[in-house]
């Protein structure tokens, strides 16, 4: 997924708000993950301390990233695995392809991986005549629908069960066309059956990685379905694709972050399967892959180090920020136009594809601050969105009218007397326009607001005037 529709965010958002089916799906998000997260955290008194510890581990790791990556690499090699450093998406795709070709692979199974989405791996491999099957149920559903994920941990959150049934009937041939597929259970059982055939036929299994552990040369996946485990165990070759910042120093450090990951994501105490994979199968082992490869992808991350966006590299992709974001909750993930939606996407996407392309995203925020409040890694997401807005302004990317408006306001704000005079007049004028309804339905230059909702009218005086009156009354 290299092409973005992020420049069209405003139109995407508008369409999403008018999409009844999507709005029904997003309604489920308003409870679900959020309530479960709250309940899980209430059970763990040390949660805030764990957040601090998790943040500190990642900060320490990022400050020593070269050392931990080379230690990780050395330990992968010592255990019989391979590490491939890839500067960008193209190099990562070519490296995966080369591994597949060397094994004369026909079929590739995929565990869920956002990096794979980032580098557009499926479409690329399919063009090379490889059969690619997503094994995570949500990813499988959207693969059949030929669309990108709309959420980083629940990729098919925008899809209804009736739509899943339609996709299954269209794809799973040779079955009774009138078979019941009304309930999630029936859909899951069919997917499980279909997927079993794929598992036993796979040549190469590709998974992502939630962590890379420097101490042992281990990659870790966190899953609930068990699909990732079957993908990486039944295939001849296991490829783990991970970006640089996934590395942590030790098993203990991974465990600390694991304690905040599932709780923040799905509200589980721990996901069903947390799998630590180190090297290929050992000589005496009866199963497991013959080869183990790690793709270490940079794709713009090393250039976030040393900038105001370095903290974003602490992100563990739990999705708590989007689960709690009023903007994401209103427009869903596809409107963001690239791989990573929600607040974390609004910060990360401009770093990876450029603020010229994704400049709308940091503006898609009400600055309510909920994302930072729930982020287990304490990433100051709103602050970073403001940094992007500054960059956007510096690069003259916003509309000319907005630029002029902000410059005019900045000049006014530096002339206190004039500012007070002008705002005093404005407050009185707006009160008059508001009339008895105390709301304004149309206002020149403010149609962006008033087209959609009324502007509450001020009650006639500025804050400074009210303050002065109140102080005078106190003295009297």
Residues 96-115 that bind other proteins (CB under 8 A): 98-99, 102
Q: Is 296 in the site for other proteins (CB under 8 A)?
A: yes
CB of 426 to other proteins, least distance (A): 46
Q: Which of residues 269, 356, 390, 469 is near other proteins by CB under 8 A?
A: 269
Q: Is 66 in the site for other proteins (CB under 8 A)?
A: yes
Q: Where are the alpha helices (DSSP H) in 43-120?
A: 47-63, 65-78, 89-102, 114-118
Binding mask 308-337 for other proteins (x = CB under 8 A): ------------------------------
Q: Does 85 bind other proteins (CB under 8 A)?
A: yes
> How far apart are the C-alpha atoms of 177 and 190, rounded to whole Å?
13
Unique residue bearing structure tokens 């530096």: 414
Instruction: Give the helix ranges, DSSP H, for 211-280.
Output: 227-234, 251-265
Backbone angles phi, psi at 204, to 5 degrees: -125, 135
Choosing from 84, 246, 334, 378, the residue that interacts with other proteins (CB under 8 A) is 84
Nearest CB to other proteins, comparing residues 242 and 440: 242
Of 12, 95, 243, 423, the residue at the interface with other proteins (CB under 8 A) is: 95
* Residue 445 tokens, joined: 């230059």
Of the candidate residues 306, 399, 444, 448, the single one contacting other proteins (CB under 8 A): 306
CA–chain centroid gap for 53, Å, is 22
- In the complex, least distance from residue 44 CB atom to other proteins, rounded to whole angstroms: 6
Q: How far is the CB of 260 from other proteins (least distance, A)?
A: 10
Of 82, 389, 428, 461, the one binding other proteins (CB under 8 A) is 82
Q: For the purposes of burial, counting CB atoms within 10 Å of the CB of 467, is it exposed (0-12), middle (13-18) or buried (19 or more)?
A: exposed
In terms of CB distance, is 156 or 339 closer to other proteins?
Answer: 156
Shorter beta-carbon distance to other proteins: residue 76 or 440: 76
38, 182, 184, 420: which one contacts other proteins (CB under 8 A)?
184
Q: Do 309 and 351 form a contact (C-beta atoms < 8 A)?
A: yes
Residues 191-230 interacting with other proteins (rule: CB under 8 A): 192, 195-196, 199-200, 214-216, 218, 224-227, 229-230
Rounded CA separation 57/406 (Å): 40
- Judged on CB neighbours under 10 Å (0-12, 13-18, 19+), 8 is middle
| Shortest Cβ 98–other proteins spacing (Å) | 5
* Binder among 251, 397, 439, 443 for other proteins (CB under 8 A): 251
Spatial distance between the Cα atoms of 361 and 343, rounded to a whole number of angstroms: 8
Helix, strand or coil, per DSSP, at residue 116: helix
Residues 432-451, one symbol each (x = binds other proteins by CB under 8 A, - = not), give --------------------
Residue 300: closest CA among 66, 87, 84? 87
Question: Residue 223: beta bridge partners?
Answer: 273
Which of 104, 129, 287, 451 touches other proteins (CB under 8 A)? 287
| Closer Cβ to other proteins, 193 or 469, answer by number | 193
**Which of 250, 363, 450, 465 is close enough to bind other proteins by CB under 8 A?**
250
Q: Supply the DSSP symbol for 8.
A: G
208 conformational bin, left if phi > 0, alpha if psi -120 to 50, beta if neither? beta
Show contacts with other proteins in window 21-50 (CB under 8 A): 25, 28, 32-33, 44-46, 49-50
Contacting other proteins within 364-403 (CB under 8 A): none
Judged by CB under 8 A, the residue of 256, 365, 423, 462 near other proteins is 256
Question: Token pair of 307, please?
Answer: 């900038």
Question: Binding pattern to other proteins, positions 146-165, x when CB under 8 A?
Answer: --------xxxx-xxx--x-
Q: What is the dihedral of CA 244, 248, 250, 253, to 10 degrees?
A: -160
354: region left, alpha or beta (phi > 0 left; psi from -120 to 50 alpha): left
288 contributes a contact to other proteins by CB under 8 A: yes
Total residues binding other proteins (CB under 8 A): 109
Backbone angles phi, psi at 295, to 5 degrees: -90, 115
Helix (H, G, I), strand (E, B) or coil at 213: strand
The nearer residue to other proteins, 86 or 119, going by C-beta atoms, is 86
Calpha distance 425→436 (Å, rounded)? 19
- From residue 45 to residue 64, what is the string marking binding to other proteins with x (rule CB under 8 A)? xx--xx-xx---x--x--xx
């Amino acid at each position: 997924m290299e092409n973005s529709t992020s420049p069209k965010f405003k139109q995407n958002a508008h369409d999403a708000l008018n999409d009844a089916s999507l709005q029904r799906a997003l309604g489920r998000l308003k409870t679900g993950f959020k309530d479960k997260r709250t309940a899980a955290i209430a059970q763990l008194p040390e949660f805030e301390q764990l957040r601090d510890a998790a943040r500190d581990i990642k900060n320490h790791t990022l400050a020593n990233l070269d050392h931990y990556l080379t230690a990780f690499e050395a330990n992968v090699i010592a255990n019989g695995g391979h590490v491939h450093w890839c500067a960008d998406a193209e190099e990562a795709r070519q490296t995966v392809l080369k591994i597949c070709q060397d094994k004369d692979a026909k079929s590739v199974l995929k565990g869920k991986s956002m990096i794979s989405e980032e580098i557009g791996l499926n479409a690329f491999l399919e063009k090379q005549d490889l059969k690619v099957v997503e094994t995570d149920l949500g990813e499988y559903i959207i693969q059949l629908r030929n669309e990108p994920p709309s959420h980083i941990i629940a990729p098919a959150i925008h899809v209804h069960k009736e739509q899943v049934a339609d996709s299954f009937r269209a794809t799973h041939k040779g079955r009774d066309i009138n078979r019941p597929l009304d309930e999630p259970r029936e859909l899951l059982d069919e997917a499980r059956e279909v997927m079993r055939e794929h598992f036993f036929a796979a040549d190469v299994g590709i998974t992502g990685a939630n962590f890379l552990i420097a101490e042992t040369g281990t990659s870790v996946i966190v899953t609930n379905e068990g699909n990732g485990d079957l993908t990486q165990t039944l295939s001849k070759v296991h490829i783990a694709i991970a970006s640089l910042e996934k590395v942590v120093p030790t098993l203990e450090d991974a465990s600390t972050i694991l304690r905040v990951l599932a709780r923040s994501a799905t509200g589980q105490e721990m996901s069903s399967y947390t799998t630590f994979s180190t090297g290929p199968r050992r000589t005496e082992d009866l199963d497991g892959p013959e080869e183990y490869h790690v793709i270490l992808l940079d794709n713009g991350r090393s250039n976030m180090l040393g900038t105001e966006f370095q903290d974003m590299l602490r992100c563990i992709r739990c999705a708590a920020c989007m689960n709690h974001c009023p903007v994401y909750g209103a427009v869903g993930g596809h409107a963001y136009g690239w791989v990573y939606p929600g607040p974390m996407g609004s910060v990360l996407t401009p770093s990876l594809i450029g603020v010229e392309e994704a400049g709308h995203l940091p503006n898609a925020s009400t600055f309510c601050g909920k994302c930072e409040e729930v982020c287990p890694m304490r990433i100051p997401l709103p602050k970073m969105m403001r940094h992007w807005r500054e960059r956007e302004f510096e690069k003259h990317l916003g509309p000319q009218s907005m630029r002029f408006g902000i410059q005019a306001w900045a000049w006014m704000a530096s002339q206190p007397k004039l500012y007070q005079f002008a705002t005093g007049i404005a407050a009185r004028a707006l009160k008059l326009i508001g009339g008895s309804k105390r709301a304004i339905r149309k206002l020149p230059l403010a149609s962006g607001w008033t087209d959609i909702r009324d502007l509450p009218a001020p009650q006639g005086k500025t804050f400074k005037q009210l303050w002065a009156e109140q102080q005078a009354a106190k003295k009297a």
